[in-house]
């Protein structure tokens, strides 16, 4: 299976979008080599703005460029974009409803060796809570490219989360991405795993292994966390009677919470959340960290069995 | 270019009208920021009634100059200037801060025509102004961006991130005006957190600077013209002002930062303002 880092896919897709749309501008805060906005900056230096190590100003300048009719893509590491500049995103971008795209890389623990200070485990939560913000977590390089392309036509503040590590490609070019639309990869009768980002391929693996053990597990790629495709969540809850969520993010405030909010109101069924258990990350290789923080196919399998066991017995 | 004496007099009279609007709407609202709205009245008047090219009948006219009220709590001075310019009916000033009003406690660009961007959280407006000025440069436009900041606001670190960027990008289409009234909510800026040597600070960040009396219409209009003539660098106009200017009851009094005039105070203020030639 081929692997591509979603940040690489972002860099290339942004360049292509820039070629088609002269209003697209890219901004970075001294991390353009890492976030891959440098690819755009090399081709379009006159449309590339490096603000230096100043994330608050990054968001403010992006807001101003948007006021001037540009389509700004502002990038830095997820931990700085959503943490350091949260209030700038709230006040200067979302409150006035500006068309700014924040594409933050090095999200989650798969940042690896840089350690806990650089591993955002709460960025989805921070962005999801701001009114009017759209939040997208692409599952692979193909979906990242499609989401970036879609941004050329999608108005309004949007947060897109991409990663540092090379991750599995699950889609081919025939895949069609739509903001706010879940992608059902597999239907299941016993349980449905709703996943995002790097956890989608893990969920697929888990579903295959569960089937061998006699459990029919569905898999949904919920790449848009907000607005959440509630219909898809309710359909899965009704269809399989148990839900597992899987995200490379804290179990507080992210996909797991969003799904819990929907099913607890609309269709209460057993739910088990796979994610980072309210702790900070640490240095290490991404694979080792995925294991340490319980983010592997095995962890999803365990969670799925737990969810199935919680289902009310049929009489 | 120095303005004719008549024009200066006329602008000063307009500023006086704006001040009357400010105290009236704040009294009606029963809350809001008196001191910092009055201290900025002459500057805002000079911009809206003399310097800026804008079109109240078409608030989004692409070639307009842009004004960003970084110190968003001084919303009343902006609302008065917009209403007196013709962006919306004067009568609407009475709705300030009320439920359902377009005149929010702090300016909301999604509600009120003429407001370029919502502000209120201090320290963010200069960054937005930089981005806007940068977009103008990218497109080769001749319109200008005017950002009005408070002096207490300079305590926000983001202002200096923006100051660095404006100079770095050579944003000579950006003019920042500092309403240097010397007071903030908790007391004198010098006591709360010293922001002295404002001019030196901006100069060291690579800006051209002009120091003026922010209540002298001739100095204000002259400084705005000089700022436009400066090429290659942004200009900061440090306008020495008096908080609550125009109404002796409020002048230099920190307690009127966020206190509206009572009925009695309004009467006295209007009497005093009405006496200005």
Q: Which residues of B touch A96 (CB under 8 A)?
A: 108-110, 117-118
B81/chain A closest Cα distance in angstroms: 21
**pLDDT truncated to tens, each residue of chain A (315 aa)?**
799 999 999 999 999 999 999 999 999 999 999 999 999 999 999 999 999 999 999 999 999 999 999 999 999 999 999 999 999 999 999 999 999 999 999 999 999 999 999 999 999 999 999 999 999 999 999 999 999 999 999 999 999 999 999 999 999 999 999 999 999 999 999 999 999 999 999 999 999 999 999 999 999 999 999 999 999 999 999 999 999 999 999 999 999 999 999 999 999 999 999 999 999 999 999 999 999 999 999 999 999 999 999 999 876
Q: Give the DSSP H/E element, type plus range, for residue A232.
A: helix A230-240
Locate the chain B residue with the closest alpha carbon to A44. Answer: B138
Task: Establish whether A55 is a catalytic residue.
Answer: yes
pLDDT tens per residue, range B238-264: 999 999 999 999 999 999 999 999 999
| Partner-chain contact A63 B129, CB within 8 Å | no
* Per-residue model confidence (pLDDT) at position B3: 83
* Per-residue model confidence (pLDDT) at position B277: 40
A50/chain B closest Cα distance in angstroms: 9
> Mean pLDDT over all residues of chain B?
97
B119/chain A closest Cα distance in angstroms: 7
Contacts of B229 (CB under 8 A, 6+ apart): none
| Partner-chain contact A60 B109, CB within 8 Å | no
Tell me which residue in B108, B134, B157 faces A65 most closely, judged by beta carbons.
Answer: B134
Tell me which residue in A46, A67, A87 faces B132 most closely, judged by beta carbons.
Answer: A67
For chain B, list residues with pLDDT below 50: 276-277
Cα A304 to Cα A208: distance, rounded to the nearest angstrom: 12
Say if CB B29 and CB B98 are below 8 A apart: yes
Q: Beta A166-168 vs B145-150: how paired, if at all?
A: unpaired
- Collapsing DSSP to helix, strand or coil, A150 comes out as helix
- Give the global pTM: 0.97
* Per-residue model confidence (pLDDT) at position B275: 59
Tell me which residue in B119, B123, B135 faces A64 most closely, judged by beta carbons.
Answer: B135
Beta bridge partners of A77: A105
Cα B12 to Cα B214: distance, rounded to the nearest angstrom: 12
Look up residue A170 and give its DSSP letter: -
Residues of A near B (CB-CB distance < 8 A)? 25, 46-47, 49, 51-52, 54, 56-57, 59-70, 72, 87-88, 91-92, 95-98
* Per-residue model confidence (pLDDT) at position B56: 98
* Per-residue model confidence (pLDDT) at position B1: 57
| Partner-chain contact B165 A57, CB within 8 Å | yes
């Amino acid at each position: 299976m081929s692997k591509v880092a979603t940040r690489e896919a972002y860099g290339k897709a942004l360049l292509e979008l820039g070629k088609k749309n002269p209003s697209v501008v890219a901004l970075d805060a001294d991390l353009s080599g890492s976030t891959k906005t440098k690819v755009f900056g090399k081709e379009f230096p006159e449309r590339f703005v490096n603000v230096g190590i100043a994330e608050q100003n990054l968001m403010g300048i992006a807001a101003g460029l948007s006021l001037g009719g540009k389509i700004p893509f502002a990038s830095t590491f997820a931990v700085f974009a959503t943490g350091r500049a949260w209030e700038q995103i709230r006040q200067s971008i979302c409150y006035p409803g500006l068309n700014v795209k924040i594409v933050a890389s090095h999200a989650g623990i798969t940042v690896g060796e840089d350690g806990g200070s650089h591993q955002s485990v709460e960025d989805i939560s921070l962005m999801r809570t701001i009114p009017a913000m759209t939040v997208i977590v692409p599952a692979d390089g193909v979906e990242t490219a499609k989401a970036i392309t879609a941004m050329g036509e999608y108005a309004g503040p949007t947060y897109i989360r991409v990663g540092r590590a090379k991750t599995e490609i699950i889609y081919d070019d025939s895949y069609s991405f739509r903001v706010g639309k879940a992608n059902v990869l597999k239907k299941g009768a016993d349980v449905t795993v709703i996943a995002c980002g790097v956890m989608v391929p893990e969920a697929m693996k888990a579903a295959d292994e569960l089937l061998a053990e006699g459990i029919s597990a569905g898999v949904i790629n919920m790449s848009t966390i907000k607005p959440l495709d509630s219909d898809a969540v309710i359909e899965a809850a009704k269809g399989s009677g148990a839900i597992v969520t899987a995200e490379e993010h804290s179990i507080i405030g992210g996909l797991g919470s969003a799904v819990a909010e929907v099913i607890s109101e609309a269709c209460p069924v057993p739910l088990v959340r796979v994610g980072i258990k309210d702790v900070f990350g640490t240095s290490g290789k991404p694979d080792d960290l995925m294991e340490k923080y319980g983010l592997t196919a095995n962890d999803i399998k365990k969670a799925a069995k737990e969810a199935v066991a919680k289902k009310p017995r049929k009489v | 270019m120095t303005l004719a004496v008549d024009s200066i007099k006329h602008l000063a009279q307009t500023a006086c009208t704006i001040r009357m609007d400010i105290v009236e709407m704040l009294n009606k609202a029963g809350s809001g920021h008196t001191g910092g709205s009055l201290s900025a009245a002459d500057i805002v008047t000079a911009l809206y009634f003399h310097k800026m090219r804008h079109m109240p009948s078409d608030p989004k006219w692409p070639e307009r100059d842009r004004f960003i009220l970084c110190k968003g709590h001084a919303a009343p001075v902006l609302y008065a200037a917009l209403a007196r310019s013709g962006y919306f009916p004067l009568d609407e000033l009475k709705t300030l801060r009320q439920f359902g009003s377009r005149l929010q406690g702090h300016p909301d660009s999604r509600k009120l025509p003429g407001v370029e961007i919502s502000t209120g959280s201090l320290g963010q407006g200069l960054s937005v102004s930089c981005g806007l000025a940068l977009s103008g440069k990218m497109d080769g436009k001749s319109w200008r961006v005017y950002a009005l900041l408070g002096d207490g606001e300079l305590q926000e670190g983001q202002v200096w991130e923006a100051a660095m960027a404006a100079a770095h990008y050579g944003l000579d289409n950006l003019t920042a005006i500092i309403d240097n009234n010397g007071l903030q909510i908790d007391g004198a800026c010098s006591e709360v957190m010293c922001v002295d040597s404002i001019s030196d600070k901006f100069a060291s960040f690579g800006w051209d600077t002009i120091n003026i009396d922010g209540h002298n219409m001739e100095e204000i209009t002259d400084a705005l013209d000089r700022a436009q003539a400066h090429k290659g660098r942004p200009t900061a106009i440090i306008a020495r002002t008096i908080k609550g200017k125009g109404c002796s009851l409020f002048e230099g009094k920190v307690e009127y930062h966020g206190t509206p005039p009572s009925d009695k105070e309004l009467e006295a203020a209007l009497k005093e303002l009405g006496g200005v030639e």
